[in-house]
Amino acid sequence: MNDDRLRPDGSFVREAIDRADALRRAGKFDAAAEALLGALAKGAAAAEIHYHLGNVRVDAGDLAAAEASYRMALSLDPNHVNATHNLAVVCKRQGRVAEFVRTYKRARRLADRRVRSNGASTVGRRRPRARSIGIAIGIAVLVFVAWMLTR
């Protein structure tokens, strides 16, 4: 029996996602959604499928359906960083600022937790603004030293 549900590696899920991503890039949003819904019909309840379905629906301009897809992904995997982030983006586009802020902060916490759990150190990590300030101070010191040497 050649039933995709019986593949031990679940490769039909990855194939459906890859096919849907290619269709999405080509602007064929309905076909992309059908590919993902087909994987769901075969019994896959992967959060990743709902996440990708949300992406297709955002690109198609259906923010309400995208929100439902991201929420379904999060019901299956509450720690799905990308689904949380994209849900925040949808909330922002819908003008729900308070929910955007709350969801975006949760996405940041999840991302930081994932970095720490993968063994990467967060010590010494700088945010872009802090790095810019450090560079500006460094340049100011160099200019000051050059000025002192030319006096």
Q: Give the residue extent of every domain in the chain.
A: 4-120, 126-151
Q: Is the pLDDT of residue 3 over 60?
A: no
Q: Is the pLDDT of residue 28 over 80?
A: yes
pTM here? 0.69
Q: Is the pLDDT of residue 47 over 50?
A: yes
pLDDT at 127: 55
Tell me which residue has tokens 């983006």. 89
**Mean pLDDT to the nearest integer, 28-39:** 93
10 Å CB burial of residue 63 (0-12, 13-18, 19+) is middle
Confidence of residue 122 (pLDDT cuts 50, 70, 90): very low
Closest residue by Cα to residue 86 from 96, 76, 100, 98: 100
Confidence of residue 130 (pLDDT cuts 50, 70, 90): low
Q: Which fold has domain 4-120?
A: 1.25.40
